[in-house]
Amino acid sequence: MKPPGPPNRLGLGNFRGMMRDPLGFMTAAAEYGPIVDIQLLFEPYCLAVDPALIQQALTQGNSVMHKDRFTHQLSRVMGQGLITSEGELWRKQRKLVSHAFTPRRIRSYGDSMVAATHRSLDRWSDGDELDIHASMAELTLDVIGRTLFDADVRGDAREVGEALQVFSDFYGDVLESPFAPPNWWPTPRMARFRRGIRNVDRILGDIIQERRQSGEDRGDLLSALLQAQDDGGAGMSDRQLRDECITLFLAGHETTSLALANTFYLLSQHPEIERRVHTEVVEVLGDRAGTSDDVERLAYAERAIKESMRLYPPVYATGRLLLEDYELGGYTIKKGTNLLFVQWVTHRHPDYFPNPLEYDPDRWRPERAQTVHKYAYFPFGGGPRICIGNHFAMMEAVLLLATIIREYRLELIPGQTLELKPSVTLRPAQGLRMKLVARHSSKSLQKSRAAAGSS
């Protein structure tokens, strides 16, 4: 017996609904219960909504599941990095890459994150208008360049940004398409896709080759990856190093930039919350530059980001392909079924979050957060394959938010709303213009900016 789900002969209507409005379609499907059967053309899907079922599948069921078809499409760009690899290769690489994400090493990147933010602030002025998503993408590109490669990649920001847009457009089209064109397909879109891969490969390849030749340890993520060895003393091959670097580079900068941009959008709509974040930042930092040691004391800023990621999760859905029959929620889910765990749906479900559409950072106060099921909120995934950079990303988001909001209030230009375009990540359908309003121009604050920018 299958779980309940929307009735639809051959899945044609479901397919049209998913293509037309995937977020709306999956939200409506969740009304059928904690686990929902969905047929999309010739492929069976099963949507798990209940946090307990999500936890069971992502933890206990990990051994009988692989990443879904869409995730494996990402290997066209990411090769066999942590996101796309499976089995023994994944286990080996996860252990090697973990050397780059120890708590001590993550904390050491705080100064670089703040310095990158001040470099952006140096180009901003009171009254300027900016596309918040594009600006945060450029900033986090600078951060990942500095922390991953100890290199300034801002000069390549436009080229990398254009490649990311090409990738996103392509994957948005193949998300539920029954046919994903091969790389050699002779169309303008595939030509742009191939060119984007070549450009990103060239940028990363030049950096990696130079570091291989120098053998220098610069204290960055790349140095840690180059030094990492398995139990037999073997390090990563050039191809493995490329795949992990491009995975960290692409995934590490876009998700954080979306989280930050969406947070600034929400703060612009909730001035009382914005004031609380600013007040906390001033009390904690004063006129000095922030450091990784300040993150724990910036508790309300962190809650504002967590709540933004609940409402607008950059990774809005997670998929797994069943390798064998699996018992879940009282049903036998057949081998070959695609399991869906949709952050957008579960994060906004009224059974798990009261007033789910309200932006309320205080729902993450410790006494309230402890009542939330661990898998009712899973912006970084869960189980053994939880995002390895989750602590890095949260520290980055808090420090960048604090550094910016101390100097500027960002006001949304009237007449705009945040419209979403699900693709590899949950991107904006179009840019949001925001106006910079300077708070003050104290000499001590300018000194802290100068000190941070020179670090």
Does residue 2 form part of some domain? no
Does residue 3 form part of some domain? no
- For residues 434 and 410, the answer to whether their CB atoms sit within 8 Å is yes
Question: Domain range holding 33?
Answer: 9-453
Does residue 348 form part of some domain? yes
With a cut of 70, say whether residue 307 has pLDDT above it. yes
Q: Which of 20-34, 153-167, 213-227 shows the highest mean pLDDT?
A: 20-34
With a cut of 50, say whether residue 71 has pLDDT above it. yes
- Once rounded to an integer, what is the mean pLDDT over residues 239-264? 89
Q: How far apart are CA 68 and CA 40, in angstroms?
A: 14
Name the pLDDT band for 443 (thresholds 50, 70, 90): very low
With a cut of 90, say whether residue 75 has pLDDT above it. no
Position 154 scores a pLDDT of 58
Min mean pLDDT across 242-256, 328-342, 396-410 is at: 242-256
pTM (predicted TM-score): 0.91
Position 444 scores a pLDDT of 43
- Once rounded to an integer, what is the mean pLDDT over residues 291-298? 97
Which pair of tokens denotes residue 349? 């479900």
DSSP bridge partners of 409: 437
With a cut of 80, say whether residue 184 has pLDDT above it. no
The more confidently predicted of residues 186 and 402 is 402
Does residue 413 form part of some domain? yes
Does residue 150 form part of some domain? yes
Q: How far apart are CA 103 and CA 93, in angstroms?
A: 19
Q: Check which CATH number belongs to the domain holding 362 and give it.
A: 1.10.630.10
Domain count, the chain: 1
With a cut of 80, say whether residue 129 has pLDDT above it. yes
Could you report the per-residue pLDDT of 205-227, keeping only the tens digit for each?
Answer: 887 888 888 877 788 888 889 88
Give how far Cα 247 sits from Cα of 46, 84, 326, Å. 28, 9, 30
With a cut of 70, say whether residue 445 has pLDDT above it. no
Does residue 142 form part of some domain? yes
Tell me the three-class secondary structure of the chain, residue by residue: CCCCCCCCHHHHHHHHHHHHCHHHHHHHHHHHCCEEEEEECCEEEEEECCHHHHHHHHHCCHHHEEECHHHHHCHHHHCCCCCCCCHHHHHHHHHHHHHHHCHHHHHCCHHHHHHHHHHHHCCCCCCCEEEHHHHHHHHHHHHHHHHHHCCCCHHHHHHHHHHHHHHHHHHHHHCCCCCCCCCCCCCHHHHHHHHHHHHHHHHHHHHHHHHHHHCCCCCCHHHHHHHCCCCCCCCCCHHHHHHHHHHHHHHHHHHHHHHHHHHHHHHHHCHHHHHHHHHHHHHHHCCCCCCHHHHHHCHHHHHHHHHHHHHCCCCCCEEEEECCCEEECCEEECCCCEEEECHHHHHCCCCCCCCCCCCCHHHHCHHHHCCCCCCCCCCCCCHHHCCCCHHHHHHHHHHHHHHHHHHEEEEECCCCCCCEEECCCEEECCCCEEEEEECCCCHHHHHHHHHHHCC
Q: Residue 8 contacts by C-beta under 8 Å, 6 or more apart in sequence? A: 14, 39
Does residue 432 form part of some domain? yes
Does residue 14 form part of some domain? yes
